[in-house]
């Protein structure tokens, strides 16, 4: 694992794949039988932070991605639009900071767009914002994808922009979503970054690693 010492380190931004909008959790948001604070906020003009919304929709995996990214991101100076350095990939609005507030209408629009590298409504905004991010990071900044790397829906457009600078956690190989979420939460608790490798040319599928031991309940 990498060190958590960030003195003199280059900027680093994380890209978080979005939560699904077609499952049981999504139905509970779109048609809540018992509205909670978040589903209520989505129906106001102010909305709710997209990071919190997707954490509700996705559970452990997105919770791990969000906590990890906020802990280890080092956003570049002079680029306020990047926020905390945890950028969420959306279906048709490109990259938005996890703090960006969205409404139920935004989610409904997301649900109507197919997340596929050949879908223009998805790809064009993603490439646009990826190019802005590349410029903001300069020559030394790094981009880490916390999401599926075994399929081209994210990697194809992002590799076109970042090339060898697009990284992902080595420990993701062979793990399912739940295992990845647990791994990220554990690394956040331990304040120790994972190892990153290039997406381009990497082995993206492998043998399933041993199960993680349970996290301490005191954390």
What is the spatial order of strands in the sheet that 95-97 belongs to? 95-97, 86-89, 12-16, 142-146, 166-169, 196-198
3 domain residue, yes or no: no
pTM: 0.89
Instruction: Please count the structural domains in the chain.
Output: 1
**pLDDT level of residue 5 (50, 70, 90 thresholds):** very low
Is residue 16 one of the residues assigned to a domain? yes
pLDDT value at residue 218: 47
Residue 87 belongs to what domain range? 12-198
User: Is 164 inside any structural domain?
Assistant: yes
pLDDT at 143 over 60: yes
Write out pLDDT tens, residues 17-55: 999 898 888 988 998 887 899 999 999 999 999 999 999
Would 63 be classed as within a structural domain?
A: yes
Region 96-119: mean pLDDT is 96
Written as six digits, the tokens of 19 are: 């939560």
Q: Indicate if the pLDDT at residue 138 is higher than 70.
A: yes
- Strand-pairing partners, residue 89, are 95
């Amino acid at each position: 694992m990498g060190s958590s010492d960030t003195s003199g380190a280059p900027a680093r931004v994380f890209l978080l794949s979005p939560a699904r909008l077609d499952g049981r959790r999504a139905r509970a948001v779109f048609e809540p039988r018992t509205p909670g604070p978040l589903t209520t906020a989505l129906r106001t003009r102010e909305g709710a932070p997209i990071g919190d919304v997707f954490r509700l929709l996705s559970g452990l995996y997105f919770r791990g991605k969000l906590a990890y990214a906020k802990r280890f991101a080092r956003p570049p100076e002079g680029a306020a639009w990047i926020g905390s350095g945890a950028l969420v990939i959306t279906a048709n609005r490109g990259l938005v900071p996890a703090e960006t507030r969205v409404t139920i209408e935004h989610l409904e629009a997301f649900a109507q767009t197919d997340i596929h590298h050949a879908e223009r409504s998805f790809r064009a905004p993603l490439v646009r914002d990826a190019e802005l991010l590349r410029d903001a990071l300069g020559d030394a900044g790094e981009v880490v994808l916390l999401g599926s790397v075994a399929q081209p829906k994210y990697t194809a457009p992002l590799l076109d922009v970042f090339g060898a600078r697009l990284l992902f956690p080595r420990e993701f190989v062979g793990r399912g979503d739940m295992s990845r979420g647990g791994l990220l939460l554990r690394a956040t608790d331990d304040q120790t970054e994972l190892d990153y490798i290039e997406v381009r040319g990497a082995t993206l599928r492998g043998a399933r690693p041993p199960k993680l031991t349970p996290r301490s309940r005191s954390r």
